[in-house]
Amino acid sequence: MKRGTLKSRFAPLALLAGLLLALPGAPLRAAELDAEQQARYQTLINELRCLVCQNQTIADSNAPLAADLRQQVETQIRAGRSDAEIKRYLTDRYGDFVLYRPPFKAKTWLLWGGPFVVLLIALAVALRFVRARRAAPAATAVDAAALRQVLADEAGDDARRPPENRS
């Protein structure tokens, strides 16, 4: 095998490796935090919503506002604020909407309780259905004579009907 072919065979692989290395692995590490603070930082930025691109967390978003909020979280962690205090700071300004897990309170009871309400309704409907079926009269022993009479009547009906497919 010529060297040239070997090289060209590995070239795509090398390119791929290069591209993978170029991908930002962990671009959102805050520079001056210790390991424990870093973990808190990661948890927080993955739980806070970016208000500009609303279906992304501030960790995912490239919006300038998300960068500002990440910066704010980092600064406050470094200042020794607790997670609850940091969330409080943000909800005071942007409302519960910034939290991907909003707290349970008067305004959000439907959000948290809604699925259970729907489940209860479904259970009630299912229960009604089952009860209705159980209450339906089961097949009972039929008087043989009466049955024969009915069958005979049926046959009589058939006899009176004009024959089909008469050609």
Partner 1 sequence: MRLRYLVPALVLIGLVVLFAIGLRHDPREVPSPLIGKPAPAFSLAVLGAPQQTYTLADLQGRPVLVNFFASWCAACRVEHPFLMQLAAQGVEIVGVDYKDTDADGADWLARHGNPYRTVIADPQGAMGLDWGVYGAPETFVLDTAGTIVYKQIGPLSEAVWRERVAPLLQGAKP
Q: How many CB atoms lie within 10 A of CB 76?
A: 18
Stretch that binds partner 1, among 12-20, 60-68, 80-88, 142-150 (CB under 8 A): 60-68
| Interaction of residue 56 with partner 1, rule CB under 8 A | no
Total of chain residues touching partner 1, rule CB under 8 A: 14
- Does position 143 bind partner 1 by CB under 8 A? no
* 41 vs 47: CA distance, rounded Å: 10
Q: Name which of 51 and 86 has its Cβ closer to partner 1.
A: 51
Span interacting with partner 1, options 6-14, 36-44, 89-97, 132-140, rule CB under 8 A: 89-97
CB 49 within 8 A of CB 40: no
Say whether 102 sits in a helix, a strand or coil.
coil
Say which residues have a Cβ less than 8 Å from residue 86's Cβ, sequence separation at least 6.
Answer: 44, 73, 76, 77
Q: Which stretch binds partner 1 (CB under 8 A): 12-20, 34-42, 64-72, 144-152?
A: 64-72
Question: What residues contact 85, with CB distance under 8 A and at least 6 apart?
Answer: 76
Binding footprint of partner 1 on the chain (CB under 8 A): 51-52, 54, 64-65, 68-69, 72, 91-95, 97
